[in-house]
Structure 1
Amino acid sequence: MRWIVGAILLLVVAVIFRLGLLAYSMYALLAAIALSRYLANRWSSDLEAKRTMNATQVGVGAKVAVVVTVDNRGKVPVPWMLLEDLLPRQALIHSPPPLEVAGQRLQLVSFRSQGTKTILYQMKCNRRGYYQIGPLIAETGDVFGLYRRFRVLSDPSFLTVLPEVVPLTGFDIASRRPIGEVLMSYQLFEDPTRIRGVREYRAGDPLNRIHWKATARTGTLHSKVYEPSTVAGVTILLDFHHEAFDRADEPVRSELAVTATASIAAAVCEMGQQVGLCTNGRDAADRIRTEGWTHQRLRSRRDAQAAGMRDRSDRLRPVVVPTERGDVQLQRILETLARVEKSDGLNFPQLVMESAARLPRSATVVAMLSIVTPQHAIALSNLRKRGFAVTAIVNTYDEYRYAELAAPLVAERIEVRQLKNREAIADLCNKCMIH
């Protein structure tokens, strides 16, 4: 705009004072400015792009190939275009980075009339997470450098990297109680596979309870008496509040907690028992803002990077996968763990308070903790007093630190186990948790 205003002013001066050479130069400059602006707009508006990924959900260690095809639909060649398929900064820091990129996702290219360019790169997924891939942005301008145009050519895609699952050892296979068999002080429901005895028939007893051999032998109806229900399965309470983790240990300890949680859930599902998850972390999908995305309002790379994902989430309720059994239950839990992020919302005692009504008494409550305060111990003790079977896993490497954190839990008669490192995950359930 300043170039145009200056050229017009000089042209007016040249006309007033009849400076023919200057007037001719200003006419040529204005024509060059108009042509440059037209070409810059034309070059950016004629481009279309499409991104293809060979997978949108993978496990840790997998490689994902990304192919971005950019077409020039116009008949005017484009002398230069800077193309970049954006990735979030958090995915490229640390060593190794969560997404290790091989190939060029930033390229300077030129297009023939109706030409096509392809961007190829590959990502190795080193850490679980929910990653935004893209958008593809393009910058171009006229050959004189007077105008610069910026466009978002494609919407972002999203990649889910599932957490690692470590096989657990030491389960009591015979009892089919991977986390422990807990005899309740009251009868929640009866286990039809475990007959305790026989009694005389009472009005209202269903036919499937009748003990036909005893009935035939005595001549009167008798019914089976079953053992009271035992606790089977697990509900995992994962503390993912950011204050629970020391910055010096991150992201190692938080990722270890997720891996241990995923491994326990996988083992319980493999045994055919119910499993659930409740965490005070936030779901990364809550930060997605794809609705109402207006490309025309984006004027820089920073705008494009912020267009799809918010930096913060105001979520103040637990992320819950209800405790159930079934073939798809493990997949639900793994997908939730892939997206979970540390939060500054609910602390762990508040998580217990908010989720207590959702916890089935028929499953052991396993608390995955990285810090233990008296409030943590009281919250878990209240669950135990209400009839829940409770076990705590303390996520720390140092033995002295573990003894310090475990003390308030032991004082409340809660069984505690240490998650020392990745190798210790396999032995977390090496003995039955009998209360």
Structure 2
Amino acid sequence: MRNILRRMGSYMKIPGLLLIAAASFAFAMFQGGFVSWFLFYTFLPFAVYPIILFFYPMKDFKAERLVSRTECIAGENIEISIRITRRSRFPLCYLLVEEMLPRKLSAGGQSAKAIVFPLFKKEITLHYSFENMIRGEYYLQEIRVRTGDIFGFFEKEESFELRQKLLVLPAYYDLPYRQLENFFDQGLAGTTKKLQRENSVVSGIREYQQGDQLSWINWKATARTNKILTKEFEEQKNHDLFIILDEETSDFFEELVSFTASFAHSVLKKGIQIGFLGTNEEIILPVRGGDIQRKKVLYQLAKAEGGQSAASVRVFDMNKAMLPPNAVLVYITSNLTDASIELLGSYKRNMAAAVFCLKKDPFITEYENRLRHAAFKRGIKVSFMEHSHLEEGLSGVIAQ
């Protein structure tokens, strides 16, 4: 309804301009003299141009967007050019070109609006940049072009649907190799003895010892020697990791995502396979290795949104069958609670588990000490990190 009234108002302006032009002509005819005709001819262009502009087809315009790159790291810049072309050289007083930005980009202080004065030009190119990009997945949808006469009698607008995806990955850095080695050497990367043996290579046989499982018995050797002999295993550590990111409300959510990306990037770089799950995501990434897995994890982290109420119990219930039975469970959070410890303890089964908790203060509280001891009893190692020292990697751990 508003658009209809707006169009009707525009049409009503045409008779008004023609009436004013006719009145000035009549005044010049009856009054005569230089001044009267000077006023008429002075006013005439300002009356005729808006009328011609009103019928000027905006379909004559074409828009094109050129992007320097469609993928970058948080904090980097993206250069964008907009090229506007038209077939005719009809003079235009001004041209307002606006990129309709996603809400998250606008809220981040980005702007993509410019006014130019093309006059008779058939092609115009505008340049702008998104500086210090914020992590996320964005879709540029539309470019709007607006023009009008100098007095604002008429305005014309045209929109161009130009869909373009921009992906801003979280900032990440290489964690120190020594810290990664400490992470694995402290037993977190090894599963329990039972799992180690079940997933290790048989190196020989030996006599049965109390605690050996029946499945380990070598029945052929037992029959030959009349002694119960069991398989002897060459124990190996399983270095596969399964990372779970707590996407609950947090003041340090971006730092949390950055650390998760850095941890995943660093362990994949060392040839370790990882899986990933965000507590607000329905998608689980199975344990894999290589550059393709790194890109998948970074993509999931780019889309991660904090501030939602993470239903961790529901997420675990939905995906517990997908959790690898022999990988290290790594839980990254900024809000460690008794419920979190209990939940991890109930789902880790025979898996080794570790928790990285991001916190504001550099000191461990009594409550956090109690959580750490409760986790230790369940076989879970907890490390607290101060958010301001994350760029130091695991060396920023303030409590083991």
Within the candidate set 57, 79, 91, 2:93 is matched to 79
Which aligned pairs between 1:133-152 and structure 2 lie closer than 5 A? 133=140, 135-152=142-159
Code of the residue aligned with 2:82 in structure 1: it is V
Partner SS, residue 55 of structure 1: coil
Residue pair 1:231, 1:362 contacting (<8 A) in 2 also: yes
Q: CA deviation at 1:190?
A: 2.5
- The answer to which of 331-340 and 372-381 deviates more is 372-381
Q: Which has the larger radius of gyration?
A: 2
Partner of 2:360: helix, strand, or coil? coil
Q: Please, what TM-score do these two structures have when normalized by structure 1? A: 0.67
The residue that corresponds to 2:42 in the other structure is none
- Which of the residues 279, 302, 315 maps onto 1:338? 302
How far does the alpha carbon of each residue in 1:12-54 deviate from its partner, in whole angstroms, 9 at most, with x for none? Answer: xxxxxxxx979xxxxxxxxx99984663453522111111111
Code of the aligned partner of 1:364: V
| Residues 339 and 405 (structure 1), Cα distance of their counterparts in 2 relative to 1, 3 Å cut | same
Whether contact under 8 Å (1:178, 1:267) holds in the other structure is: no
The equivalent of 2:114 in structure 1 is: 107
Aligned match of 1:390: 353
Could you say if the C-alpha distance between residues 179 and 327 of structure 1 is closer, same or farther in structure 2, counting changes exceeding 3 Å? farther
1:36-435 correspondence runs (5 A): 36=50, 39-40=53-54, 42-91=56-105, 93=107, 105-112=112-119, 115-133=122-140, 135-169=142-176, 170-172=179-181, 180-186=189-195, 189-192=198-201, 196-198=203-205, 225-227=232-234, 230-242=237-249, 245=250, 249=251, 253-281=252-280, 317-342=281-306, 344=308, 346-384=310-348, 386-399=349-362, 403-405=366-368, 407-408=370-371, 410-412=373-375, 413=377, 414-424=380-390, 426-428=392-394
| SS at structure 1 position matched to 2:314 | helix
CA distance in 2, matches of 1:378, 1:173: 26
How much does 1:86 deviate? 3.4
Please report how far the alpha carbon of residue 177 of structure 1 lies from its aligned counterpart in structure 2 after TM superposition: 9.3
Opposite residue 387 of structure 1, the aligned amino acid is N
Asked if the contact 1:81/1:138 (under 8 Å) is kept, the reply is yes
**Contact between 1:82 and 1:107, CA under 8 Å: does it hold in 2?**
yes
Greater mean alpha carbon deviation, residues 175-184 or residues 267-276:
175-184
Structure 2 counterpart of 1:140, one-letter code: T
Unaligned runs of 5+ in 1: 12-19, 23-31, 201-221, 282-316
Shift of 1:174: 12
Q: How far apart are the structure 2 equivalents of 1:429 and 1:352?
A: 30
Matches of 1:425 and 1:8, distance apart in 2? 69
* Shift, 1:197, TM fit: 2.9
The normalised TM-score by structure 2 is 0.72
Distance 1:323 1:114, change over 3 A: same
CA drift at 1:161: 1.7
Q: Alignment partner of 2:284: what SS?
A: strand
Report the RMSD for the aligned CA atoms in angstroms: 4.2
SS across alignment from 1:155: strand
Aligned position for 1:305: none
Deviation of 1:270 after TM superposition, in Å, equals 1.4
**How far apart are the structure 1 equivalents of 2:372 and 2:360?**
18
Percent identity between matched residues is 22
Q: Quick one: distance in 1 between partners of 2:133 and 2:274?
A: 27
Cross-structure match for 1:309:
none
Q: Retained in 2: the 8 A contact 1:178–1:268?
A: no
Deviations 1:354-374 (A, max 9, x none): 222221122111111111333
Higher relative contact order (CA 8 A, sep 6+): 1
